[in-house]
């Protein structure tokens, strides 16, 4: 969203994903067929404001996934690995 709270469908911000806890990032993608960045990267530009990160849980316990981008508010989510 922009500073006025409006969705920006053509956004292409670069997102950096981090993980803490018993898991690992195994892939990231954005659906852009022209994007040649490796799926193994922990950094990904959004495509039509979207990106995805795929994680693999190692052991049971909380896994924190963080997403950061210059000029945007960082966010995180906590999932429970099993």
Domain of 41, CATH number, reads 2.60.40.10
Residue 6 lies inside a defined structural domain of this protein: no
- The Cα 53–Cα 58 span in angstroms is 16
21-53 tens-digit pLDDT: 999 999 999 999 999 999 999 999 999 888 999
The residue range of the domain holding 39 is 14-81
Residue 18 lies inside a defined structural domain of this protein: yes
DSSP for 14-46 reads EEEEEEESSEEEEEEE---TT--S-TT-SEEE-
- The Cα 23–Cα 33 span in angstroms is 28
Quote the pLDDT of residue 30: 94
Quote the pLDDT of residue 9: 78
Residue 48 lies inside a defined structural domain of this protein: yes
Residue 46 lies inside a defined structural domain of this protein: yes
5-23 tens-digit pLDDT: 887 878 888 999 999 999 9
Residue 70 lies inside a defined structural domain of this protein: yes
Residue 4 lies inside a defined structural domain of this protein: no
Residue 55 lies inside a defined structural domain of this protein: yes
Query: Is residue 3 pLDDT above 90, yes or no?
Result: no
Q: Domain tally for the chain?
A: 1
């Amino acid at each position: 969203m922009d500073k006025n709270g409006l969705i920006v469908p053509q956004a292409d911000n670069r997102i950096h994903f981090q993980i803490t806890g018993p898991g690992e990032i195994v892939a990231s993608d954005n659906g852009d067929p022209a994007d040649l960045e490796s799926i193994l990267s922990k950094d990904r530009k959004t495509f039509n404001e979207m990106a995805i990160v795929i994680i693999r849980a190692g052991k049971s316990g909380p896994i924190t996934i963080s997403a950061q981008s210059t000029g945007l508010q960082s966010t995180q989510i906590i999932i429970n690995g099993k």
